Structure 1
Amino acid sequence: MISNTHRNGLVVAGTLIGDWLLAMLTYWLFMSLFLDVTWDEMQLHTSVVVGVLYCACIINGGVMLYLREVKRFQIVTKVTRNVLLFAVVAIPLLKFGHFRTMDYDMVPLFLLALIVVVSSFRLCVRSLMNYYRKKGGHVTKVVFVGSKYNNLALYKEMKSITSLGYRPLGYFDDNVNPKFPEDCPYLGTPSDVMEYLANHKDVQELFCCLPSQRAEEIMKILHYCEKHFVHFYNVPNVTNYLHHRVYFNMLDSVPYLSLYREPLSRPENRAEKRLFDILVSGLFLCTLFPIILVIVTIITKLTMPGPVFFKQKRNGLNGKEFYCYKFRSMKVNADADKVQATKDDPRKTKWGNIMRKTNIDELPQFWNVFVGNMSLVGPRPHMLKHTEEYSKLINKYMIRHFVKPGITGWSQVTGFRGETKELSQMEGRVQGDIWYIEHWSLGLDLYIMFRTIANVIAGDKEAY
């Protein structure tokens, strides 16, 4: 029997080899077809250096295809980070080492081609793995010990998502549980577990949810699993009061569970995000923004009375209030801090409507990013009145304030932008914000920024 670890190792090795071969093929095609390079000894030396550096970068970046729950954009993000790391490492070394390589004006095109080729390859491998699992390949046979709600919920998840590749064989408990369906049969009491495992050596994983008072029984099963290559998993019985995903953590030797996985709780991640915010916002404020400011000021003064900027108190990190800046797109009105903008809002001017549809009105928020009130990407900040109202209606609403608000965010590029006519729309936005908080990475920020720019160019029907 080939274990999951061995299977996953084969997937990783095969993916890395295929990734490397495609990268080198892309490099050679660029050098031969587009740059008409003559292959001599010097060029072969360069190819060796390029190959070694790229191999080191993809090994460092890793492979996530074998993970049972991974999204396509995460695969593309991983590839993009690998390629960018390769560029950062390879370009200076090739230059200072006086290796013959492509002209610098061709490098961006080569890197883009590399991302597309390798991402396509990895996505194809992932699709083949999912297909293989659905057809019964790479199956992981499991049994349950204890039939409490948490193990029953595990069973339902395993059966509903066939691409996960789990095949439940049955459950053990003191008595038959009628809530378990017939295709997950009763196998006996917990004292029968070891005998069953001895007769069914194809069982690979065991999920135990017996209460801690039965520690002696649990330890016997655990020790048997450790000696006979069965992965033992303890399923904590917290679902009677926590109907939420939880995460296992360790503080030295003490385990504890958390409700949310927060990458930005780590200082190094916060520093990485903050540095990125400062560099991008500072560059924009020193280059394009002054030109845009002059144009907006002239047109605004010609089309409507009042100030060019609009500032409004909104809730930021940990609920702290700050002034969020925008270019004013509405007539001066008393409802600015109470009423959300609507599609045919009479308060908007023609010029203001243009600014809103093109997101120009949001550009002053780069100043908020630069001074640290906001980030380039994060949950959109809401006016104080809305925070007060929705925090009473939506249980998890305030969780979105665990990170800095952003100029754009995951919810905004996945269909939850604009006016919230129904409570379900705000609930969807909050769910998207929480998903972003739990899955943050710099690559995800770059992806959201790309999607935002693409939406602006294509025209977002929810921009009003």
Structure 2
Amino acid sequence: MNTFKQGRYSGFIKPISYFIDLSIIVGAIFLFEINLKNLYPFIFYACFFWIIIAFKNHFYEVQRYTKVVQIFTLLLRQIVFFVFVLYAFIGFFKQPNISRWALGNYLVLVFFLVTCFKFLVFFLLNKYRSALGGNFRKVIVIGDTEKTRQLINIFNARPSFGYKFIKQFSVKGDEFSLQKCFNFIIENDINEIYFSVADLSNKQINKLIDFADNNLRELKFIPDNKDIYTKKLKYEYYDYIPILSLRTIPIQDTVNKFTKRFFDITFALFIIIFILSWLTPILAIIIKMESKGPVFFKQSRNGFNYKEFDCYKFRSMTPNKDAHLYQATKGDQRVTKVGAFIRKTSIDELPQFFNVLFGDMSVVGPRPHMVSHTNMYAQRIDKFMVRHFVKPGITGLAQTSGFRGEVETDKDIINRVKFDIFYIENWSLLLDFKIIAQTLINALKGEDKAY
């Protein structure tokens, strides 16, 4: 089995930008005599609406190929809406004593400092990429057209974009082979694949898409025109070259990632403090009374980006050497009496909230499989590896849709993968709430395949 690896963008840039901007918004308040009657509600109000406006404005979605004029547009739009919101505070909360002049000076300073910081980060990152060669992504280009040649020139001429062009594959001639491309990508740890739609057949494109999905590589189209082939494609420009991204993953957005992680930590702490704190000692005694062995069962599974982690459960079987190789089946003699109950009610999964707290898992996401099963399904089931673009979950859309427990046929795992991909591409916090609620209902009434 190949070692799957996906190069990532710098994950700390956006959170640090949020922190610095909010620090500017809060700190600048103390430099002016605004005559605020209630300081802390104003601070909360300002920070809250700054984040909301930034989210709607995509204020922190500045990419390595973003133009300076686009940043100016983002800044102007952000500050205009922020000005309206802050002046609305006066009338909405009936604050006639607030100095409008001082508030105006405060907003000018905030705009100036935020602008300086945003461009400082932008130019420092560009310098870091162009001068030091850091924060780069290795790319290849498949196809030989005018647009692919222009794109390669951009990669070579604009090191500030942070793309390291490795190789171009021409599809003309008998020597071209997609398999050679695939081998080269794996051997050289290529992060992104760019290809010309005009140069490949539909069959070749499908093979390329399947390879990218199954090996966690980012695949981007170079179209002949501006026709959008599917609503899920993301349209971007590198200078004047249009680029289509195959799949957008909402959870990878910084705000969404923070929101989901905050919810995961909060929910996990609630379960650990108010349920596991008293349930664990009781179950420990019952499990120990019925059979010898540890209270907790630890199993290696594949998580985000195919990384292995130790997944925890309450032990529901008698200790056996096959626990890491074979799933529980109906009437499985390895399952203890207490084990049958906690498996039927999904109580055995509760220790995984510690995995959530540690950051290996999420409350909701694709269920992680045993390593041996992951290796098998990755080879047999198309697009199985897509589920590793996000953290695995304690529960998931596939599980609440009837595809939990034992995999009896390939159809079971194929349907599970379909639901997992739908979840990844259509994630929302509301969807998570819906899945959690359905999981609780299923646990209370019991499920046929929970054995």
In the superposition, the TM-score normalised over structure 2's length comes to 0.50
Larger Rg belongs to: 1
Q: Which has the higher contact order (CA 8 A, sep 6+)?
A: 2
